[in-house]
Amino acid sequence: MAYHLDEEALELLIRDSASSCGYPLLKDQQKQVVLSFCQGKDIFACLPTGFGKSACFVILPKLFDLLRKESPGHSIVIVISPLNSLMKDQVRSCRERGVAAAAVTHDDKSSEEEAIKGGFQIVYISPEMILGTKKWRSVLDSNLYQSRLVGLVIDEAHCVKTWGDDFRQMFKELGHLRALIPTGTNMMALTATATTRSRLEICLRLGMENPHVVQLSPDKPNIFLSCNEFDSIPASFGLLAKRLKEERTKMGRVIIFCKKIALCSQIYSYFLYILREGFTEPRGVSVASIESRLVDMFTSGTHPEVKEVILKSFQSQTAPLRIVIATIAFGMGIDCPDVREIIHVGPPSDVEDYVQQIGRAGRDNLPSFATVLYGRNLMRNTSKTMLEYCRRNDLCRRNFLFSEFDSYSPSYNRGCHCCDVCSIICSCFNCSFN
């Protein structure tokens, strides 16, 4: 739906609805997204994790109520999201901002009924729920939704590409939604990382025509990039274990990603063996006390209740948890400002995944580290580019990694603050004296 107010009037309305949702100041990119959306464009926004992508759609219902001169609570936005835990967090945040929101899931029938009756301005739902059930197809077709739905948001849109191929088939089908939503309702795809190629692929799959693209480079200059050969667990993690032993809860937070659960458990056991009674804070408490562990494991085999404790601890300033050893299921949507280091045991499947995952480090903008450990048995299911990233020792890793993204302009001479390759040839004061 295009609203042809002059831009100044529109900006004023945007500012009003933003501040009434608790966003006193929108960033330029957020403003751009909302403005073009109101001008009737589909949006593809690629903005780094922690940037505040949700503000771009949370304010839409209020804004459209104003634009369409409807009474408050009239307009509805649907947000497609991949994970229940993510939806729950966002619903909580919406409600704190005075925006009626709910997550439609299989285990919350009453919210679903209320959402169908139009009781929520923001409706979070999974692709399986909205496309896989007849019910939601007819909800979209109902008079209520046909007249009140003002936008369809695809959050974590990179899943359309990466998950569409295997276990979340429904992500691939999201393009069908275009036919189900009211004519003229625009779509907004949001992601933290998309290479030029995958942006085009995602837009194609979602049936987005000529979307307005808003993006920031996913490069975070405060993250030092490096690659090392993986030898053995003690050789690769000995230093980290020693640091944890000395610094304990003062050590920065670390995420270790493994491809296999078996390797996760071996690394976990190694820390347990090295730290012994110091594995918990306070020392000597039973390892069974999850809240006291300095190191924990987060895999598909982890009990849901334990998962919840780990997620909470990792985001808490006071919890002792320092290191999480995880398969890739960990960390999407977690908001932990002080992750200091991300270690991949074996390179992830592609550049996009990698950039997405290291984006969890250094959200406080302090110096942080991203390291890939590579080795003979760790290179399966990895793209060619990612293999090259590990093996080339003659190119700046940053320039190599981010040249895949169309919003990146190469930086030169960042020296020892950039990557292990640049450090070797750095001629800054500190480096020349070492």
Residues that bind Zn ion in the complex, under the rule CB under 5 A:
396, 398, 415-416, 418-419, 422, 426, 428, 431
Nearest distance from C-beta of residue 434 to Zn ion, angstroms = 8
Nearest distance from C-beta of residue 252 to Zn ion, angstroms = 21
Nearest distance from C-beta of residue 290 to Zn ion, angstroms = 39
Q: Distance between CA 39 and CA 15 in Å, rounded?
A: 16
Q: Which stretches within 118-232 are classed as H helix? A: 127-132, 134-141, 143-148, 158-162, 169-172, 177-180, 196-205
Q: Which stretches within 59-100 are classed as H helix? A: 60-67, 84-96
Nearest distance from C-beta of residue 429 to Zn ion, angstroms = 8
Nearest distance from C-beta of residue 299 to Zn ion, angstroms = 32
Specify the residue, 316 or 413, whose C-beta has the smaller distance to Zn ion. 413
Specify the residue, 189 or 396, whose C-beta has the smaller distance to Zn ion. 396
Specify the residue, 12 or 428, whose C-beta has the smaller distance to Zn ion. 428
Count of C-beta atoms within a 10 Å radius of residue 224: 23
Specify the residue, 213 or 390, whose C-beta has the smaller distance to Zn ion. 390
Nearest distance from C-beta of residue 359 to Zn ion, angstroms = 18
In DSSP terms, 79 is beta-bridged to 124, 153
Nearest Cα residue to 266 out of 230, 297, 229: 297
Nearest distance from C-beta of residue 217 to Zn ion, angstroms = 15
Q: Distance between CA 354 and CA 344 in Å, rounded?
A: 9
Nearest Cα residue to 344 out of 335, 354, 336, 330: 354
Instruction: Tokens for 203, please give them.
Output: 């837009």
CA diameter of the chain:
73
- Distances in Å between the alpha carbon of 177 and those of 79, 131, 207, 357? 12, 8, 9, 29
C-alpha angle with apex 345: 313 to 254, nearest 5 degrees? Answer: 25
Amino acid letter, 411? S
Q: Distance between CA 179 and CA 27 in Å, rounded?
A: 32
Nearest distance from C-beta of residue 355 to Zn ion, angstroms = 15
Specify the residue, 72 or 410, whose C-beta has the smaller distance to Zn ion. 410
Specify the residue, 330 or 369, whose C-beta has the smaller distance to Zn ion. 369
Nearest Cα residue to 31 out of 49, 61, 52: 52
Specify the residue, 237 or 402, whose C-beta has the smaller distance to Zn ion. 402
Instruction: Tokens for 413, please give them.
Output: 């001479």
Specify the residue, 169 or 411, whose C-beta has the smaller distance to Zn ion. 411
Residue 299 DSSP code: S
